């Protein structure tokens, strides 16, 4: 099936491996991605933090473009982009908003927005995923880390249980992995505070990774570029704060799926991580 | 209502609560200060005003205190508070509103580097339609007088192909700039309505 | 031709300030049927009433209209007044020119015109009125009490002592209700069993009380003074006459079932008494979990019973009884903590509810009164109590306050400090509601003398951290987030209406509020009565309440029932429906619509065709005069006495006069 694709700024740069692995995995489960033409930055945290109108406008343009290009649904792998696009769709419908001429706000409001877990679970389906897993990830014990924006706030995300989600565990289970039971799956990673208030973010990263390690995880599965960046690039500082070794690869769920589907690590971008993730390809 | 102090008694701005309620679309008066928001906020330990105190100060019309607090800038909008509030108040949305009002008011932000970061981010989006981290981090480092912050990290990321030195541009950049213009000229700001879950 | 007298009241300045009373009187005097019209400052006062009575005599009035305040306030006053002067009280009509006119308008001309219109309608209605009578309905002086918790027990005892036979129906195998599950009661720390069991035994022994436990009320028909009730005595599978209460059957039974009495913490057998002091002290077999009934195997209890009292062939007994009054004391249930996912969702053994803690600390409970963690049976060193779980919660629970949790949490905290002196105890609260005799002092003692740390704030989440539970809370007063690693967490869960309230309410004609609690006739002035006469409410089935409040309500109900039973008969309503059989087609739509079951089918012999046919018949004792049947009848065969179609039309004609 065809679906619109909104990579967002990070998937073309710091989260390149998310883009690569998502495309590879979607192809393998029959989801044809059609990148929205001329998409712009959704505004991420910066826009909504200082101007609600700007946030709805920037995100809304992408939905209007999708509608123009005949796409009635869009996959936004980045959790923040997902949240912003959904928020815009809801408010374009509820309050109306002034968009530049040539952009149809009504049509934009009607575009359905999916995050990667939603797309895998409900558009592709666990059966398809199971079938495609020619090299199951037996023995892998990932800590499924949802972060904030995939499930919160519940009236925006409208996805899974905001206190006890299971979508990631279901998907990982379908490819043979054994996700660990741990209790920091929904704790905030600090987001852009990693830049503006680094010590606060390092504290949060340390709590999350410390808990994952204590639960016996051998890697952390994520579905958000901000979370991936923070847990990966700030891991050394977090380890120093905890006074213990962490050494946890932080991988996108699509990278793990890609490995299970037998796709080569380079095609998935597995070599681009700060904390080495290639070892997961070797061990599988 | 006044708050007597030795250095002058500020008067409560009781219209502030209504203004925040109208603009955010949230029922500020419903908050009974249970502090479940503070209990679950990951950044509460670092804030000068805890989340429940921010809302309390709004209720009491302590406008300057709220807009000058660090709490509103340390909030990552993780929405844990919104998810658990027993009065169904989306405090994360209220925080967004307070941030916008703080910048409009001209009060010096308690954490100036945060709105600076957001402004640089949006400046780049206005220029090219999409974000490029390289000039963002460079400008940020320079303006916060910390040009070597995360330089080593940036180097590592560049080597791994995670940084794009050339920014791809949106073709219809005029349309993107028009969105910025629309948001700026709106003086009353669109009143958002609550969209409670389906 | 009618001789109507019109009396317009000033009500001091309440009416006269806005309505030109003199003008109303002058115009009213001209209305057809009016032979006398006057005004007075306070019509309901003694001189006012005497004036009406004098006018009735002098002008030979046969109908009276008073234009004053609301009928809810003074209709009965004026009806009594004219009855004393020899008129039938139902030839009286009232126009409310205060609440419905002078109090809601400011334009004098318009208000006066409206008051005159209102008066004209009342006059028109009065001209077509007839004298009405109320019939006497005999009362069966037996009471039914549904539910045998402390409320039911108290009501039954009070009624029995007053000399009336009482039947108590209880769904559980024993009477005692929730109070039997408690350990100590606040604020006196009386042992609950010690104060309850004597009452239970009194109830069992009282010659006027019949206890039907393991029984259910299935159907209720009839009306005040004459309820026909169907009761199912479920089969205990034990012959109560032969059973000697030795308990050997329970001991030897191989089946184990989660114990409801222990709030899910312990187990019981398939043949069981819920607790050792059960009344009656006769076990029942829970056939759903009994091996004999499920698989045909076992039969151990029958073999070991020294009295040969086990009777697998025992069947349910269906009783049909008549009662004059029904007391509903069915109690309430508790919030399911699994709904609060952020507090563990019911998945962790060391996060328990207040009800479970009550069983833990009770010497008859699953740990013989030792406060221990359920995971490893170790005594806790840090206990955290969380109040308002599911209460005062718009999103995951109920908006209301459950009233008793502040007090029982203070009680629990006190018990921990007494039994485990070195233990750290924390209580997370939002407000302390301790408005009772000795209540505030009790809570303060826990805080000041016993060192229980009270933190003002809700908890955001609880999760396992090693062997302990990490509680992430806050103190709003200091404005800080707090973290406590607890060994045991106790959630004070909300009190809520039972799951089957809708069915019970339908059966008994009780209204429920949006939460399922039974609604009383008036929240302030009629707190123990139902709007439907003869049914009374007592206890937690109305709203969360503590023991003193419950016992007071139960005794109040007993008083009300005694008031009913003090007479031999009651008067029915006068303004009730009547059927014109000649017009009635027998469709019986009215019967379906009647909320009081006051209409029956009747076979009559048609006067013209001489054939038998069905028509509707109104039971004059039950009909409350709501008028729903009158509105529904397509043939206009039904009319409401005192408010007939003819009266309404006459009122409308008067309104539309030139």
Q: How confident is the model at residue A284 (pLDDT cuts 50, 70, 90)?
A: low
Q: Is A183 on the interface with C (CB under 8 A)?
A: yes
* Helix pair A198-214, A225-233: axis angle to 10 deg: 90
Residues of B in contact with A46 (CB under 8 A): 117-119, 121-122, 125
Residue A107 to chain C, least CA–CA distance (Å) = 32
CA angle A54, A60, A61 (to 5 degrees): 95
Looking at the fold, whether A108 and A144 belong to one and the same domain comes out as no
Cα–Cα distance, C340 to C325 (Å, whole number): 41
ipTM above 0.95, yes or no: no
| Whether C460 and B86 lie within 8 Å, measured CB to CB | no
Rounded to whole angstroms, how far apart are CA atoms C627 and C637?
12
Among residues A117, A151, A173, the one where a domain terminates is: A117
Q: Does A94 touch chain C (CB under 8 A)?
A: no
Query: How does pLDDT run across A82-139, given as a tens digit for each residue?
Result: 999 999 999 998 876 789 989 999 999 999 999 999 999 999 999 999 999 999 999 9
> Does the pLDDT of residue B196 top 70, yes or no?
no
Same-domain pairing of A85 and A209: no
Higher pLDDT, C641 or B14: C641
A196 and A61 assigned to the same domain: no
Structural tokens at position C306: 């020294």
Nearest C-alpha in A relative to C463: A183
Which three-class secondary structure state does DSSP give residue A189? coil
C346 Cβ under 8 Å from any chain A Cβ: no
Q: Which residues of B touch C397 (CB under 8 A)?
A: 86
Residue A95 in domain: yes
Contact, C516 vs C502, CB < 8 A? yes
Q: What pTM value is reported for the model?
A: 0.88
Q: Do A87 and A157 fall into the same domain?
A: no
Give the best residue of C344, C347, C463 to mutate against chain A (max A CB count within 10 A).
C463
Residue of C nearest to A181 (CA): C464
| Nearest residue in A to C339, CA atom | A163
Together in a domain, A47 and A151: no
The SS3 of residue A262 is coil
What distances in angstroms separate CA A202 from CA A240, B48, B75, C129, one per listed residue? 10, 19, 15, 86
pLDDT tens-digit readout, A8-30:
999 988 899 999 999 999 999 99
Residue in B136, B148, B150, B183 to test binding to A, most A beta-carbons within 10 Å: B183
Q: Give the model's confidence band at B193: pLDDT under 50 very low, under 70 low, under 90 confident, else very high.
A: low
C270 Cα to chain A: minimum distance (Å): 36
Query: CATH number of the domain that A79 lies in?
Result: 1.20.1050.140
> What residue in C sits closest to B42 (Cα-Cα)?
C481
Distance CA C174, CA C163 (A): 24
Q: At which of A68, A85, A117 does a domain end? A: A117
Q: Does residue A107 share a domain with residue A57?
A: yes
pLDDT of residue B14: 87
Q: Verify whether the Cβ–Cβ distance C472 to B39 is below 8 Å.
A: yes
d(CA B191, CA C128): 59
The count of domains in chain A is: 2
Q: Of B82, B83, B193, which is closest to A94 when you measure between CB atoms?
A: B193
Confidence of residue B198 (pLDDT cuts 50, 70, 90): very low
Residue A126 in any domain: the answer is no
**In C, what residues contact B, Cβ < 8 A?**
342, 388, 392-397, 430, 456-461, 472-476, 479-482
C474 and B84 in contact by Cβ < 8 A?
no
Does residue A129 form part of some domain? no
**pLDDT, tens only, B64-82:** 999 999 999 999 999 999 9
**Domain end marker among A117, A143, A174:** A117
* C342–A163 CB contact, under 8 Å: yes
Please tell me the distance from the alpha carbon of residue C549 to that of residue C186, in angstroms, as a whole number.
13
Residue A136 makes CB contacts below 8 A (sequence gap 6+) with A175, A176, A177, A260
What DSSP string runs through C369-437?
T----TTT-PPPSEEEEEEEESSS-TTTS-SS--SSHHHHHHHHHHHHHHHSTT-EEEEEES-----ST
**Pairs of residues, one from chain A and one from chain B, whose beta carbons lie less than 8 Å apart:** 187
- Chain C residues whose beta carbon lies within 8 Å of the beta carbon of residue A161: 341
Residue A235: domain span: 134-283
Q: Are C309 and C219 in contact (CB under 8 A)?
A: no
With CB atoms and an 8 Å threshold, state whether A161 touches C345.
Answer: no
Q: How far is C462 from chain A (nearest CA, A)?
A: 9
Q: Do C481 and B33 touch (CB under 8 A)?
A: no
Q: Nearest Cβ partner of C394 from B37, B53, B86?
A: B86
Q: How far is C386 from chain B, CA to nearest CA, in Å?
A: 12
Q: Is B125 an interface residue toward C (CB < 8 Å)?
A: no
Interchain CB contact of A153 with B (< 8 Å)? yes
Chain C CB within 8 Å of residue A181 CB = no
Contact present, C518 and C543 (Cβ < 8 Å):
no
The answer to whether B188 faces chain A, any CB pair under 8 Å, is no
Contact A163 C463 (CB under 8 A): no
Quick one: which H or E segment has residue C548? helix C547-565
Interface membership of B183 toward A (CB under 8 Å): yes
- Average pLDDT of every residue of chain B: 90
The stretch A203-218 carries a mean pLDDT of 97
* CB of B39 less than 8 A from some CB of C: yes
Contact partners of A by the rule of 3+ C-beta pairs under 8 A? B, C
pLDDT means per 10 residues, chain C with 658 residues, are 93 95 96 95 96 96 96 92 96 96 96 97 95 91 98 98 98 97 96 96 98 97 90 97 95 96 95 95 96 94 96 96 97 96 94 97 95 97 98 97 97 97 97 96 97 97 96 96 97 98 94 96 92 92 96 98 94 91 94 88 91 93 89 94 94 90
Q: Which residues of C touch B69 (CB under 8 A)?
A: none
Cα–Cα nearest to C343, from C401, C308, C384, C403: C384
Decide if A24 is inside a domain.
Answer: yes
Provide the CATH number for the domain around residue A177.
Answer: 3.40.50.11810
Shared-domain flag, residues A35 and A110: yes
Residue pair C538/C325 in contact (Cβ under 8 Å)? The answer is no
CA distance A23 to chain B (A): 17
Q: Which residue of B has its CA nearest to C472?
A: B39
Contact list, C465 vs chain A (CB under 8 Å):
183
A128 within a domain of the structure (yes/no): no
Chain B touching partners, 3 or more CB pairs below 8 A:
A, C
Q: Which residue has better confidence, B160 or C173?
A: C173
Q: Using CB atoms within 10 A of its CB, is residue B148 exposed (0-12), middle (13-18) or buried (19+)? A: exposed
Exposure on the CB side of residue C317, measured as CA atoms within 13 A: 13
Question: Given an 8 Å threshold on Cβ–Cβ distance, is B130 in contact with A40?
Answer: yes
Structure tokens given for C228 = 């026909």
Q: Which chain A residues are Cβ-neighbours of C345 within 8 angstroms?
A: 163-164
- Contact call for residues A252 and A221 (beta carbons, < 8 A): yes
Contact B96 A49 (CB under 8 A): yes
Torsion of CA C288, C290, C291, C295, to 10 degrees: -30
User: In chain C, how long is the greatest CA-to-CA distance?
Assistant: 95
> Nearest-CA residue of chain B relative to A273?
B160
Nearest Cα to Cα of residue C510 among C538, C530, C540, C534: C530
Q: Are A97 and A141 found together in one domain? A: no
- C54 in contact with A, Cβ within 8 Å: no
Distance from CA of B121 to the nearest CA of C (A): 32
Partner residues linked to C462 by β-bridges: C471
Q: Tell me if the bond preceding B31 is cis, omega within 30° of 0.
A: no
Task: Say whether both A96 and A164 belong to one domain.
Answer: no
What integer pLDDT is reported at residue B197 of this predicted model? 41
CB contact under 8 A, B179 and A100: yes
Residue ranges in chain A assigned as alpha helix (H)? 8-11, 16-28, 44-50, 52-68, 79-94, 105-109, 116-118, 126-132, 154-157, 167-174, 193-196, 198-214, 225-233, 235-242, 253-260, 265-268, 278-283
| Closest to A57 in 3D by CA, of B125, B92, B119 | B125
Q: How far apart are CA A239 and CA A227, in angstroms?
A: 16
Chain B residue closest to A43 (CA)?
B122
Alpha-carbon torsion (C280, C281, C286, C292), positive or negative: negative
A151 and A95 within one domain: no
Interface A–C counts its CB contacts (< 8 A) at 9
**Residues contacting residue C657 through CB under 8 Å, at least 6 positions apart:** C31, C120
Looking at residues A234-261, what average pLDDT do you find? 97
CA distance B146 to B144: 5
Secondary structure class of C211 (helix, strand, coil): strand
Mean pLDDT for A196-200 is: 96
Asked if residue A125 belongs to a domain, the reply is no
Same domain, A185 and A256: yes
Q: Which chain C residues are within 8 Å of A164, Cβ to Cβ?
A: 341, 345
Burial class (CB in 10 A: 0-12, 13-18, 19+), B133: buried
Q: Tell me the CA distances in angstroms from C360 to A53, A119, A207, C377, C620, one per residue in order.
A: 56, 48, 35, 11, 56
Identify whether residues A174 and A218 lie together within a single domain. Answer: yes
**Interatomic CA distance for residues C151 and C537, integer angstroms:** 10
Q: What is the DSSP string of C592-650?
A: HH-TT--EEEEEEE-TTT--EEEEEEE-TTT-----HHHHH-TT--EEETTS-HHHHHH
In angstroms, the CA C420 to CA C452 distance is 12
Q: Is A124 a domain residue?
A: no
Q: Chain B residue with minimal CA distance to C458? A: B36
Per-residue three-class SS string for chain B: CECCCCCCCCECCHHHHHHHHHHHCCCHHHCCCCCHHHHHCCCHHHCCCCHHHHHHHHHCCCHHHHHCCCHHHHCCCCCHHHHHCCCCCCHHHHHHHHHHHHHHHCCCCCCCHHHHHHHHHHHHHHHHCCCCHHHHHHHHHHHCCCCCCCHHHHHHHHHCCCCCCCCCCCCCHHHHHHHHHHHHHCCCCCCCCCCCCC
- Closest-CA distance, A184 to chain C, in angstroms, reads 9
* CB–CB contact B160 A97 (8 Å): no
Interface test with C, best of B39, B41, B50, B79 (most C CBs within 10 A): B39
Q: What is the average per-residue pLDDT within A252-259?
A: 97
Q: Are strands C468-475 and C480-486 parallel, antiparallel or unpaired?
A: antiparallel
Evaluated on CA atoms C436, C437, C442, C448, the torsion sign reads positive
pLDDT at A283: 65
Q: Is C79 left (phi over 0), alpha (psi -120 to 50) or beta?
A: alpha
Q: Answer for the pair C73, C99: CB distance below 8 angstroms, yes or no.
A: no
**Do the domain assignments include residue A279?**
yes
């Amino acid at each position: 099936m065809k679906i619109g694709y909104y990579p967002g700024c990070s998937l073309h740069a710091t989260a390149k491996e998310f883009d690569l692995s998502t495309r590879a995995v979607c192809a393998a489960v029959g989801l044809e991605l059609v990148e929205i033409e001329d998409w712009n930055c959704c505004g991420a945290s910066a826009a909504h933090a200082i101007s609600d109108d700007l946030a709805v406008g920037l995100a809304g343009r992408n939905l209007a473009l999708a509608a123009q290009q005949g796409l009635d649904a869009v996959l936004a792998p980045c959790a923040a982009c997902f949240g912003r696009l959904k928020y815009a769709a809801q408010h374009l419908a509820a309050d109306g908003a002034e968009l530049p001429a040539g952009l149809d706000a009504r049509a934009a409001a009607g575009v359905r927005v999916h995050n990667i877990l939603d797309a895998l679970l409900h558009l592709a389906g666990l059966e398809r995923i199971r079938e495609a897993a020619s090299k199951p990830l037996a023995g892998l014990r990932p800590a499924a880390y949802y972060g904030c924006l995939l499930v919160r706030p519940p009236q925006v995300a409208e996805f899974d249980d905001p206190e006890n989600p299971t979508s990631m565990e279901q998907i990982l289970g379908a490819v043979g992995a054994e996700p660990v039971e741990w209790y920091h799956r929904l704790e905030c990673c600090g987001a852009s505070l990693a830049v503006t208030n680094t010590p606060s973010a390092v504290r949060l990263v340390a709590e999350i990774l410390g808990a994952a390690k204590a639960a016996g995880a051998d890697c952390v599965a994520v579905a958000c570029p901000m979370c991936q960046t923070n847990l990966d690039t700030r891991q050394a500082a977090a380890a120093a704060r905890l006074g213990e070794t962490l050494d946890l690869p932080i991988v996108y769920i699509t990278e793990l799926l890609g490995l299970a589907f037998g796709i080569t690590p380079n095609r998935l971008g597995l070599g681009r991580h700060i904390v080495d993730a290639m070892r997961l390809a070797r061990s599988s | 209502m006044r708050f007597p102090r030795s250095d002058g008694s500020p008067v409560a701005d009781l219209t502030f609560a209504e203004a925040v309620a109208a603009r955010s679309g949230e029922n500020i008066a419903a908050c009974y200060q249970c502090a479940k928001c503070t209990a679950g906020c990951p950044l509460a330990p670092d804030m000068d005003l805890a989340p429940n105190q921010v809302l309390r100060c709004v209720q009491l019309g302590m406008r300057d205190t709220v807009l000058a607090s660090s709490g509103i800038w340390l909030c990552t909008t993780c929405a844990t508070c919104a998810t658990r509030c027993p009065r169904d108040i989306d405090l994360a949305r209220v925080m967004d509103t307070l941030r916008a009002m703080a910048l409009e008011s001209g009060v010096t932000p308690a954490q100036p580097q945060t709105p600076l970061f957001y402004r640089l981010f949006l400046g780049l989006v206005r220029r090219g339609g999409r974000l490029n981290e390289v000039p963002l981090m460079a400008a940020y480092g320079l303006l916060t007088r910390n040009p070597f912050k995360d330089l080593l990290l940036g180097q590592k990321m560049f080597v791994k192909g995670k940084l794009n030195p050339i920014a791809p541009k949106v073709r219809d950049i005029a349309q993107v700039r028009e969105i910025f213009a629309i948001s700026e000229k709106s003086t009353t700001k669109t009143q958002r309505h609550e969209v409670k879950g389906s | 031709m009618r001789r109507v007298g019109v009396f317009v009241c000033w009500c001091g300045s309440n009416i006269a300030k806005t309505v030109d009373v003199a003008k109303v009187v002058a115009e009213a005097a001209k209305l057809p049927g009016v032979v006398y019209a006057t005004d007075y400052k306070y019509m309901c006062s003694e001189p006012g009433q005497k004036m009406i009575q004098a006018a009735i005599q002098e002008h030979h009035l046969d109908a009276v209209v008073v234009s004053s305040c609301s009928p809810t306030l003074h209709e009965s006053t004026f009806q009594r007044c004219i009855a004393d002067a020899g008129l039938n009280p139902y030839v009286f009509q009232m126009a409310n020119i205060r609440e419905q006119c002078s109090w809601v308008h400011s334009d004098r001309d318009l208000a006066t015109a409206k008051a005159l219109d209102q008066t004209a309608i009342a006059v028109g209605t009065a001209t077509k009125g007839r004298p009405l009578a109320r019939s006497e309905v005999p009362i069966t002086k037996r009471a039914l009490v549904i539910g045998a918790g402390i409320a039911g027990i108290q009501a039954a005892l009070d009624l029995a002592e007053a000399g009336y036979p009482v039947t108590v129906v209880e769904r559980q195998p024993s009477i005692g209700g929730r109070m039997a599950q408690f350990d100590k009661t606040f604020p006196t720390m009386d042992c609950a069993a010690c104060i309850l069991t004597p009452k239970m035994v009194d109830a069992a022994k009282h010659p006027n009380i019949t206890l039907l436990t393991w029984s259910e009320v299935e159907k209720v028909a009839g009306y005040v003074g004459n309820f026909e009730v169907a009761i199912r005595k479920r089969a205990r599978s034990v012959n109560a006459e032969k059973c000697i209460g030795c308990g050997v059957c329970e001991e030897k039974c191989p089946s184990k079932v989660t114990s409801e009495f222990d709030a899910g913490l312990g187990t019981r057998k398939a043949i069981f008494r819920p607790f050792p002091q059960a009344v009656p002290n006769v076990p029942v077999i829970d056939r759903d979990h009994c091996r004999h009934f499920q698989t045909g195997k076992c039969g151990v209890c029958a073999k070991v019973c020294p009295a040969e009292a086990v009777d697998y062939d025992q069947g349910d007994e269906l009783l049909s009884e008549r009662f004059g009054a029904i007391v509903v004391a069915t109690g309430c249930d508790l919030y399911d903590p699994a709904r609060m996912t952020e507090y563990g969702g019911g998945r962790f053994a060391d996060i328990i509810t207040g009800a479970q803690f009550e069983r833990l600390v009770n010497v008859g409970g699953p740990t013989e009164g030792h406060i221990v963690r359920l995971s490893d049976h170790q005594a806790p060193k840090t206990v955290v109590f969380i109040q308002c779980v599911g209460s005062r919660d718009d999103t995951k629970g109920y908006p209301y306050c459950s009233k008793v949790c502040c007090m029982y949490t203070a009680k629990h905290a006190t018990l921990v400090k007494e039994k485990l002196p070195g233990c750290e105890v924390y209580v997370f609260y939002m407000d302390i509601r301790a408005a009772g005799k000795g209540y505030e002092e009790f809570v303060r003692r826990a805080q000041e003398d016993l060192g229980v740390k009270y933190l003002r704030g809700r908890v955001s989440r609880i999760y396992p951290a090693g062997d302990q539970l990490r509680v992430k809370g806050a103190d709003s007063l200091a404005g800080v987030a707090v973290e406590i690693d607890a060994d045991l967490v106790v959630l004070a869960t909300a009190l809520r209406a039972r799951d089957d309230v809708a069915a019970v309410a339908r059966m008994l004609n009780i209204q429920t509020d949006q939460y399922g609690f039974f609604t009383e006739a008036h929240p302030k002035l009629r707190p123990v009565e139902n709007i439907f006469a003869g049914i009374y409410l007592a206890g937690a089935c109305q709203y969360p309440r503590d023991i003193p409040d419950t016992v007071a309500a139960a005794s109040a109900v007993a008083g009300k029932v005694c008031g009913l039973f003090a007479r031999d008969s009651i008067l029915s309503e006068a303004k009730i429906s009547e059927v014109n059989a000649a017009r009635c087609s027998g469709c019986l739509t009215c019967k379906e619509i009647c909320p009081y079951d006051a209409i029956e089918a009747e076979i009559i012999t048609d006067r013209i065709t001489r054939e038998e046919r069905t028509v509707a018949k109104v039971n004059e004792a039950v009909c409350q005069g709501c008028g729903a049947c009158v509105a529904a009848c397509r043939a206009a065969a039904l009319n409401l006495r005192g408010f007939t179609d003819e009266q309404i039309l006459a009122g409308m004609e008067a309104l539309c006069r030139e």
